[in-house]
């Protein structure tokens, strides 16, 4: 399907506007039901299911860590925001956001809200068709990202937070320093060591990837 066909399918669903009226709107603030938040919550799960299902089926012979990298790329904030703008869904998205707010994050939430609405009204098969059409150009992309970027996108996706690295020890000499940093995500905790704080953080990120995805 081309962009026009996809856009038409979406806008022909009765009441689609409910999922694209952001909570910043005055009328939304007065609605205790908070449909945008509920659809976004549901859409996040439905999107994850559809993308995970696609990747497991398409890349059956690939290692899980590679599938995980693909998954995180496909559901991260930047990818969602890019798709939201590419298909001009932002043109029908209503909000009263502060001009300085993080639009990419809000656009990502809005796309998830739309996915949740489509699923609620049209079911899984129809939603899968829309999602795979919207994501078509991204589906087979394997991003080559450094460990820290990978962990950041994972954490933002899962917890809506940027991971925090904490320097816990600095030792050694001026010519041979040693840094140890800790990294925590959920119930996972690791330490990384390096000759600079940056290298120690990279080492910690690598350990976290191995721990989470059992590489």
- Enzyme catalytic residues: 44, 112
Cα dihedral: 79, 80, 85, 87 (round 10) = 100
Contact between 39 and 116 under an 8 Å Cβ cutoff? The reply is yes
Spatial CA neighbour of 89 closest among 165, 17, 186: 17
Question: Looking at the DSSP assignment, which residues form a beta bridge with residue 145?
Answer: none
Kindly state the tokens that stand for 71. 């998954």
Give the SS3 label for residue 213. helix
């Amino acid at each position: 399907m081309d962009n026009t066909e996809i856009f038409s399918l979406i806008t022909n669903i009765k009441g689609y506007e409910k999922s694209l009226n952001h909570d910043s709107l005055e009328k939304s603030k007065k609605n205790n039901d908070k449909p945008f938040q509920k659809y976004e919550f549901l859409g996040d799960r439905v999107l994850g299911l559809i993308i995970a299902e696609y990747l497991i089926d398409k890349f059956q012979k690939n290692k899980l860590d590679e599938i995980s990298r693909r998954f995180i790329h496909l559901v991260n904030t930047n990818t969602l925001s890019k798709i939201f703008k590419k298909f001009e869904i932002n043109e029908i998205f209503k909000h009263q956001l502060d001009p300085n707010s993080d639009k990419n994050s809000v656009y990502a939430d809005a796309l998830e809200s739309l996915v949740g609405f489509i699923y609620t009204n049209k079911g899984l098969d129809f939603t899968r068709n829309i999602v795979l059409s919207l994501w078509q150009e991204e589906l087979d992309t394997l991003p080559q990202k450094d460990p820290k970027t990978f962990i950041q996108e994972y954490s933002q996706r899962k917890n809506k937070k940027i991971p925090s690295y904490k320097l816990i020890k600095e030792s050694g000499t001026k010519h041979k320093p040693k840094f140890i940093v800790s990294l925590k995500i959920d119930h996972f905790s690791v330490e990384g060591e390096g000759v600079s704080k940056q290298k120690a953080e990279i080492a910690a990120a690598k350990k976290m990837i191995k721990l989470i995805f059992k590489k």
